[in-house]
A and B are shown apart, each in its own frame.
Chain A
Amino acid sequence: MITLLKETLSRQSIYMPTPARIAAMTPLTASETLFRVELPSGFHLHHRPGQFVELSVLGVGEAPISICSAPTRSNGSFELCVRAVGKLTNAVHKLPPGAKVGIRGPFGRSFPVERFYGRDILFVAGGLGLAPLRSLIDEVMDHRGMFDRVILLVGARTPRDLLFPDDLARWTARDDIEVHITVERPTEEWVSNVGVITTLFNKIDYQGRNMVATVVGPPVMYKFVLPDLLAHGLADSDIWMSFERQMKCGVGKCGHCQMHHIYTCQSGPIFSYQEVKNLQEAFA
């Protein structure tokens, strides 16, 4: 098996993707679809949770997309959850199943999973943030014995925007993970929590716990979630986030993802709060 990164690096150009196949497409919401991407035989993605790939449709463009399947569940093929917002992301939605796409990567820094061993893990997922976290959640659940308590908080705008309903049901059915879901604007059938994601924080018992938090959501979410987590006594170095920046290369060259002296595509997208708290542009 050849790792995709090795293949990416051995191509004549670091910008030239490896062809891959869309093996399956599952619509999740009106604008988000789950893609199962199959690499050519003999290739293995070999990623870590939190990393991303550059996804191409030749003739349209390229975009960074988080790998949303866990390493334990990405044998030969892996999953991407894509929200249609622009040219590339709309184009992949219009592809027929079986179509060819291009993949480069995996790039970026992952969640330091080994540092979470033996501790409580709190997952905080806002909107599309559940996609990168899903990779980590399953990685944790597939090595469940390595961790203490596992808690998942999920926030969405409406029940219709909730991603991965099957996975949420799968996790909720287990008794070794605590799942809380909230929506900002409920429908009539909605029977669960209503409110922004921070309203779920008081459901958790933090007392005397050795907890790490992993938080992924839109840029505005961090502004509200971070103060709450800090107030509950989490250490700066125990809060981990994924940062979204415009990325045109993924390999530290195009300058778009720069946040102070840091190239998010190289040193990120995963950062601890400790690492970025003094960077004015981090939460701008």
Chain B
Amino acid sequence: MSLRIMPKSALKAWIQRLQQRSFRIVGPKALHGRYVFADITDPDELAIDYPTTLSAPKQFLLPPREVLFSFNADTMDMTAHIEAEPTVLFGVHTCDMHAIQLLDTVQNNGFADQHYRARRDALYLVSIECLKPCSAQCFCKDMETYSITETYDVHLADMGDAYAVRVGSDKGEELLAGFTNIWEGADSDQQRLNEVMSQKWQNFEFRLDATLSQLPEVLGAAMHSAHWDELGDICLACGACTQVCPTCYCFDVTDEVDLTLTHGVRLRAWDSCQIEKFAVVAGNHNFRSQLGRRQRHRFMRKGKYQYEAYGKMGCVGCGRCGTTCPVAITCIKTFNHLTQESAERQAAVEVKA
């Protein structure tokens, strides 16, 4: 993939051009001293140097509340709502790109979800390289998500006064079509990029005690750990952690009708496995009534189950759940605590032997 160079000052013009071409532009924006993904109307609002956002960009693929179809309950006429408008998502960090890859896998697996598919097809991903860790909670180096996936359309890397631009797909070419303030990189540009990248690796540290490949095993051995109940004791079951997570996609389905009881919609909304009723079945049997069990399910999904089901980790190390949790339950602490327990168990076995 050849390297192109775009002066930083050209970014604004590029966005304006895309807006004129009727693309919806979404990107990181400041809000109360934090950052969120939101619609960008004025290119000056785009805070592309943001550390990380509070919530994941998944909302542009799986909206928090989405009408699946509308209906007339009397005639049984139904109309699917497959809604997608060409949207450019600017400034997606590599961890979130890995998360989107997992969402793609899940949503296309078996029965493909047409609602997701349509949004995904209309979504153009302009990703950007993180040159340093975004927060005290992030551990993307451990999860091997601090380098880019194959799925970008355009990928940017900050080289000071210019972006190194790589185009990864036809959709990427489409975004740049006719834009002239960008040119082929020279060998010297490639060299500069190599320097930036080699600097980058040094800025990141490992924060987990287990390696990525050990994690499923560490968690598997922790099924009966007392730590789950320790987490359960302090957890508020507020569900904030799953709402902000880029790889959580569980949903609830409900119907809404108007007062004539005739016209209505079936819609889905983000759900959370931390909520009491998530795993209740008829007869009020609850497969995860204890909070500790729900915490266990969440962390198992992150570091083991999703990997077993889809070959991709359910956690990309973005750290958002840890930042948002009111009681400071974090992936780093939890995974490390369980790794420690596993090491202790191992040591105990060796002493006996």
Direct contact of A and B (CB under 8 A): yes
Given contacts A253-B107, A284-B288, is CB(A15)–CB(B68) below 8 Å? yes
Contact A256 B271 (CB under 8 A): yes
Q: Mark A200-225, 1 if CB is under 8 A from B, else 0.
A: 00000000000000000011100000
A16 neighbours in B (Cβ, 8 Å): 68-69, 78, 80
Q: Is B195 an interface residue (CB 8 A)?
A: no
**A105–chain B nearest beta-carbon distance, Å:** 11
Q: Is A160 an interface residue (CB 8 A)?
A: no
CA of A218 to CA of B114, assembled, Å: 35
Q: Is A100 an interface residue (CB 8 A)?
A: yes
Q: Is B197 an interface residue (CB 8 A)?
A: no
- From B76, B250, B254, A255 is in contact (CB under 8 Å) with B250
Contact A102 B305 (CB under 8 A): no
Given contacts A13-B80, A253-B251, is CB(A281)–CB(B287) below 8 Å? yes
**A33–chain B nearest beta-carbon distance, Å:** 15
Given contacts A16-B69, A100-B76, A281-B287, is CB(A260)–CB(B300) below 8 Å? yes
B278 neighbours in A (Cβ, 8 Å): 246, 256
Q: Is B280 an interface residue (CB 8 A)?
A: yes
CA of A99 to CA of B280, assembled, Å: 29
**A179–chain B nearest beta-carbon distance, Å:** 26
In the complex, residue of chain B having the shortest beta-carbon distance to the beta carbon of A54: B253
Contact B281 A261 (CB under 8 A): no
In the complex, residue of chain B having the shortest beta-carbon distance to the beta carbon of A11: B80
CA of A19 to CA of B254, assembled, Å: 18
The prevalent SS among residues of B at the interface is mixed
**Quick one: which of A224-272 are within 8 Å of B by CB?**
244-246, 248-249, 251-256, 258-263, 266
Contact A284 B293 (CB under 8 A): yes
Interface residues on A, range: 35 or more
A1 neighbours in B (Cβ, 8 Å): none
B78 neighbours in A (Cβ, 8 Å): 16-17, 58
Q: Mark B88-130, 1 if CB is under 8 A from A, else 0.
A: 0000000000000000001101111111000000000000000
Q: Is B173 an interface residue (CB 8 A)?
A: no
Q: Is A86 an interface residue (CB 8 A)?
A: yes
Q: Is A27 an interface residue (CB 8 A)?
A: no
Contact B266 A15 (CB under 8 A): yes
Q: Is A59 an interface residue (CB 8 A)?
A: yes
Contact A255 B255 (CB under 8 A): no
The prevalent SS among residues of A at the interface is loop
In the complex, residue of chain A having the shortest beta-carbon distance to the beta carbon of B293: A284
Q: Is B71 an interface residue (CB 8 A)?
A: yes
Q: Is B13 an interface residue (CB 8 A)?
A: no
Q: Is A112 an interface residue (CB 8 A)?
A: no
CA of A14 to CA of B268, assembled, Å: 13
A9 neighbours in B (Cβ, 8 Å): 111
In the complex, residue of chain B having the shortest beta-carbon distance to the beta carbon of A89: B282
Given contacts A252-B110, A252-B111, A253-B249, is CB(A13)–CB(B282) below 8 Å? no
Q: Is A41 an interface residue (CB 8 A)?
A: no
Given contacts A15-B69, A260-B305, is CB(A60)–CB(B280) below 8 Å? no
B348 neighbours in A (Cβ, 8 Å): none
Q: Mark B60-97, 1 if CB is under 8 A from A, else 0.
A: 00000000110111001010111000000000000000
Contact B253 A254 (CB under 8 A): yes
Contact B114 A246 (CB under 8 A): no
Contact A261 B305 (CB under 8 A): yes
A100 neighbours in B (Cβ, 8 Å): 76
B343 neighbours in A (Cβ, 8 Å): none
Q: Is A145 an interface residue (CB 8 A)?
A: no
- From A13, A219, A254, A284, B252 is in contact (CB under 8 Å) with A254
A261 neighbours in B (Cβ, 8 Å): 304-309
CA of A102 to CA of B254, assembled, Å: 15
In the complex, residue of chain B having the shortest beta-carbon distance to the beta carbon of A15: B68
Q: Is B32 an interface residue (CB 8 A)?
A: no
Q: Is A192 an interface residue (CB 8 A)?
A: no
Contact A62 B253 (CB under 8 A): yes
Q: Mark B280-292, 1 if CB is under 8 A from A, else 0.
A: 1111010110000
Contact A254 B271 (CB under 8 A): yes
Q: Is A187 an interface residue (CB 8 A)?
A: no
Contact A59 B76 (CB under 8 A): no
Q: Is A85 an interface residue (CB 8 A)?
A: yes
**Quick one: which of A76-112 are within 8 Å of B by CB?**
83, 85-86, 89, 100, 102
- Interface centre among B112, B254, B281, by most chain A C-beta atoms within 10 angstroms, is B281
Q: Is B223 an interface residue (CB 8 A)?
A: yes
Contact B109 A258 (CB under 8 A): no
Q: Is A61 an interface residue (CB 8 A)?
A: yes
A83 neighbours in B (Cβ, 8 Å): 282
Contact A248 B251 (CB under 8 A): yes
In the complex, residue of chain A having the shortest beta-carbon distance to the beta carbon of B306: A261
In the complex, residue of chain B having the shortest beta-carbon distance to the beta carbon of A245: B281
**Quick one: which of A1-58 are within 8 Å of B by CB?**
9, 11-17, 19, 58
Contact B281 A58 (CB under 8 A): no
- From B112, B287, B305, A245 is in contact (CB under 8 Å) with B287
A12 neighbours in B (Cβ, 8 Å): 69, 80, 82, 114
Contact B306 A13 (CB under 8 A): no
A281 neighbours in B (Cβ, 8 Å): 287-288, 297
Contact B283 A280 (CB under 8 A): no
- From B76, B224, B250, B282, A19 is in contact (CB under 8 Å) with B76
In the complex, residue of chain A having the shortest beta-carbon distance to the beta carbon of B256: A59
CA of A14 to CA of B111, assembled, Å: 7
CA of A281 to CA of B279, assembled, Å: 11
Contact B114 A13 (CB under 8 A): yes
- From A245, A248, A263, A266, B253 is in contact (CB under 8 Å) with A248
B261 neighbours in A (Cβ, 8 Å): 59
| Residue contacts A-B, CB under 8 angstroms, 17 given | A13-B114, A58-B73, A60-B255, A61-B253, A61-B254, A62-B266, A85-B282, A220-B285, A245-B287, A246-B278, A248-B268, A249-B251, A252-B111, A261-B305, A261-B307, A261-B309, A262-B309
